[in-house]
Amino acid sequence: QVQLVESGGGLVEAGDSLTLSCAASGDTFAWHSMGWFRQAPGKESEFVAAISWPGTRTSYVNSVKGRFTISRDNIKHIIYLQMNGLKPEDTATYYCARGKSVSFERTKTDYDYWGQGTQVTVSS
């Protein structure tokens, strides 16, 4: 059974930093890209960042480039999303997901397992 469990969300002020973590259990990590998506209330789910297997390439949505960094620990089976310079528009529930292949994609249909999400709220 594949399980992805996010943690690290919270309530912060604009300009603050947060690091989200996503722990993967089972035979879930090797040979799969990983990604982060987010969904704000009343909005469509949005791709945020992705990292290939084993972690040599990354991709970001334009709105977070230079502020967010995705990384992975292939020993501990954890992916991270370091978020700096947070803005109120970053407020959303953040989900990690496992990609279907080694190479990352930006569309939800290219991911097959999802976590339950962690809430990030940024006050102005």
CA dist 75 and 45 (Å) reads 29
- Cα 14–chain centre separation: 19
Q: What is the pLDDT of residues 42-95, one digit of tens each?
A: 999 999 999 999 999 999 999 999 999 999 999 999 999 999 999 999 999 999
C-alpha 6: how far from chain center: 9
Q: Are 6 and 81 in contact (CB under 8 A)?
A: no
**In the structure encoding, which two tokens stand for residue 96, read together?**
């990690």
Q: pLDDT per residue over 24-57, tens digit each?
A: 987 778 899 999 999 999 999 999 999 999 999 9
Give the E-state strand segments of the chain in sequence order: 3-7, 10-13, 18-25, 34-39, 46-51, 58-60, 68-73, 78-83, 92-99, 111-114, 118-123
